[in-house]
Amino acid sequence: MTRSIPLRRVAHPILWVDRERVERNIRCMAEKAERANVRLRPHFKTHQSSSIGEWFRPYGVDAITVSSFQMAEYFARHGWSDILVAFPFNVREIEAANRLAAAIDLHVLVGHAAAIDELATRLHSPVNVWIDIDTGYGRTGIPCESVQLIEELAQTIERSPLLKLVGLYGHAGDTYRAPGKERILQAYERTRVKLEALRAQLPRERYPQLLIATGDTPGCSLAPDLGGVDEVHPGNFVFYDLMQLHLGVCEPEDIGTVVVCPIVSIYNHRDELAIHGGAVHLSKESLVDESGLTIYGRAIRLQQNGWDPRDVIGEVVSVSQEVGIVRVSSDVLQNLAVGDLLGILPVHSCLAASALAEFRTVEGEPLDVLG
């Protein structure tokens, strides 16, 4: 069933994965978690691939995070039996929750009494519950200052025979808004400290084993020590991307994936070329680079079995639905031809991976991916 194909047979955009780099990223994070005696429950929304999931197993990873019940069902089918759906529980998905809870150790995230009521009323099997805490990011979760409300939720959870309160979950997403290593580390530490303080305010005798968990890629990658929480849930670190590079979180050689795109036209008069690779492949995620240019990716030269991270040759300066426009220097352009393949380093690897149906390693092996 698995069939290796050479790069020259690629006809349309695919996600190309450098397994060596990805495994190094995994090993690095897993060892850091182990050193701190913290459980790594990696977020698999980034890759959504059962094949890549297997690469975590040698490091003792046996529990994962996903962001939808569809992903949870996919990974459960592929042998994962401890899964956190780190998404404010959608009460309309109670049937999926029941299917999963009957088969695996299901963990859900709740941040509203109505969701707990629905779970308590309609579940048939035990479910582990994390309370979604807003430590200042302001996306989802109950503000960590609302201690009384949080304790009420905790009590409601504990009263239900099928619900087990396991922990407090805070996503330190503000590390994405904090340029520079120091500010990222401050944001990460702020979340950790707030979760710790919140736990200390809840009656210990009633919740003796309450866990705290956080884990964005910027914070977990830069923190010299992951200690002080019970679990970390980073996802993006498996691939990294231009956003992480821009934030100072990774180095060019850590980026583990490119989108392979055929050149479809060349415009010598304006030093640009068109690729098959647009918003439906790269997403419309952009960043403003050092020179003030808004970019949707960077183009890199491909070799037969990978790429040299220093071999960036241009920027994706615009994307429409299917087409990307890449700006390159005129001397580079002279050596490119219609039909050549370029690698595009994505701005946001999670969204590019989610958009693409076909993943291959740089050796040409197909990787299974949620369709």
How far is 277 from 325, CA to CA, in rounded Å?
9
Identified binder of its own copies from the candidate list 2, 37, 291, 321, rule CB under 8 A:
321
Nearer to its own copies, 67 or 244 (CB): 67
Two structure tokens written together for 348: 């946001």
Report yes or no: 66 and 76 within 8 Å, Cβ to Cβ.
no
Q: Does 5 bind its own copies (CB under 8 A)?
A: no
Q: Which amino acid is at 307?
A: W
How far is 119 from 104, CA to CA, in rounded Å?
16
To the nearest whole angstrom, how small is the minimum distance from the Cβ of residue 132 to its own copies?
Answer: 8
- Looking at 55-63, 99-107, 109-117, 195-203, which segment touches its own copies (CB under 8 A)? 109-117
Q: Does 258 bind its own copies (CB under 8 A)?
A: no
Site for its own copies in 28-67 (CB under 8 A): 45, 67
To the nearest whole angstrom, how small is the minimum distance from the Cβ of residue 72 to its own copies?
Answer: 12
Contacts of 60 (CB under 8 A, 6+ apart): 30, 34
- Looking at 25-33, 76-84, 246-254, 321-329, which segment touches its own copies (CB under 8 A)? 321-329
How far is 370 from 365, CA to CA, in rounded Å?
16
Q: Does 351 bind its own copies (CB under 8 A)?
A: yes
Report yes or no: 226 and 32 within 8 Å, Cβ to Cβ.
yes
Nearer to its own copies, 35 or 139 (CB): 139
Identified binder of its own copies from the candidate list 49, 318, 349, 361, rule CB under 8 A:
318
SS3 for 106-141 is EEEEECCHHHHHHHHHHCCCCEEEEEEEECCCCCCC
Long-range contacts, stretch 293-298, CB < 8 angstroms, 24+ apart? 293/317, 295/242, 295/347, 296/324, 296/347, 297/242, 297/259, 297/324, 297/344, 297/345, 297/346, 297/347, 298/242, 298/344, 298/345
Nearer to its own copies, 125 or 140 (CB): 140
Site for its own copies in 188-247 (CB under 8 A): none
How far is 168 from 237, CA to CA, in rounded Å?
22
What does the per-residue mask of binding to its own copies show for 322-341, with x meaning CB under 8 A?
A: xx-x-----------xxx--
How far is 193 from 25, CA to CA, in rounded Å?
26
Residue 341: strand pairing partners: 262
Nearer to its own copies, 3 or 92 (CB): 92
Nearer to its own copies, 18 or 132 (CB): 132
Nearer to its own copies, 152 or 182 (CB): 152
Nearer to its own copies, 4 or 268 (CB): 268
- Looking at 154-162, 212-220, 240-248, 320-328, which segment touches its own copies (CB under 8 A)? 320-328
Nearer to its own copies, 202 or 351 (CB): 351
How far is 182 from 149, CA to CA, in rounded Å?
33
Residues in contact with its own copies by the rule CB under 8 A: 10-12, 45, 67-68, 70, 87-93, 95-96, 111-112, 114-115, 118, 132, 138-140, 143, 146, 173, 262, 264-267, 269-270, 274, 276, 279-280, 283-285, 318, 320-323, 325, 337-339, 350-351, 354-355, 371
